[in-house]
Amino acid sequence: MILVTGGAGFIGSNLVNELLKNKLPTVVCDFNTKIDKNYFEDINNILRFVEPIDLRNFICENKISVIFHLGAISSTTFSDANQIWYNNIFTSKEIWDLCCKNKIRLIYASSAATYGNGDKGYIDNQNLAYLKSLKPLNIYAWSKNEVDKRNLFAKNILNVSPPQWISLKFFNVYGPNESHKENMISIVLKTFQQIKKNETTLLFKSYNNQYEDGEQKRDFIYVKDCIKVLMWFLEKDDISGIFNVGTGQARTFNDLVYNVYKNMKKNINLKYIDMPKEIKNQYQYHTKADLRKLTKTGYDKNFYTLENGIEDYINNYLNKKNYEIS
């Protein structure tokens, strides 16, 4: 049995759909109020939905082979440190400990936000001193780095870990099943919605002299590629560690917006706006995944280009009747 926490969320629901396609017995842990049945291609074959409050008992009372821990408060602007601590750190620690005790494989979501402004590079280094040197720019990113540090300490110093543990540092993910993320949806979906409403597309101005407006760069990765990586590690139970999940390519927000307009056959209507004060000091101007470590494990699947990913997302999902338009 496979358990997916956050299984009704963005990456989680896409993973559940892939697990079910492969006829793997799957349980989803998420809040009932957050479950959108439209996210699932075969909801009737999900073995069970478990509320987060019942998660510990469910793990202890059932035979689970793998836990994909994807549930968390993922908003980079969320400011309640107590909730972040409980949801992102305490719960992750509890799941790690239960996996150790019950010999359950653990694959969990970290984030490229842990790298802060990138002055230490974007290298998925498993050195504890390196993780301690990172300076995340917001509470969410800090929480993800704390989990990685705690787990690496348990593994390297205390010699306590699940039979397999994988931390995946996801870069900027976009794709189907993200509409519930509200103000944290991808710029792809946000631009699509603005075009549908005949509104101007808005991007933040740059406050870094090295980057023109809209030329800020991110490693944008299509969610289908994230699922391929997750499924690949599911097959490789002899590998553990921290790994980047990006394309290895940094592309500009202008590139992204241009490709959305191109696929919708519309003339570009774009305006650069002031960045809110609360995120000016938390803003990453450039991210690019170093994939050498992932490649060394044998992962050799091709990633969607930004052009191909946006084309698939718009034509096969967003342009479907009433899909994710709010």
Which residues are the active-site residues? Answer: 140, 181
Could you identify the residue written with the tokens 């899909």? 323
The number of angstroms, rounded, from the C-alpha of 211 to the middle of its chain's C-alpha atoms is 25
Task: Please count the helices (runs of H) and the strands (runs of E) in the chain.
Answer: 12, 13
Q: How many whole angstroms separate alpha carbon 191 and alpha carbon 170? A: 22
* DSSP structure string for 285-305: SB-----HHHHHTT--PPPPP
Question: Are the beta carbons of 182 and 193 closer than 8 angstroms?
Answer: no
* Short-list 206, 225, 201, CA closest to 216: 206
**11 touches 226 (CB < 8 A):** yes
Return the closest-CA partner of residue 13 out of 177, 198, 189: 177
* Residue pair 178/192 in contact by the 8 Å Cβ criterion: no
Backbone angles phi, psi at 287, to 5 degrees: -135, 145
Segment (H or E) for 220: strand 220-222
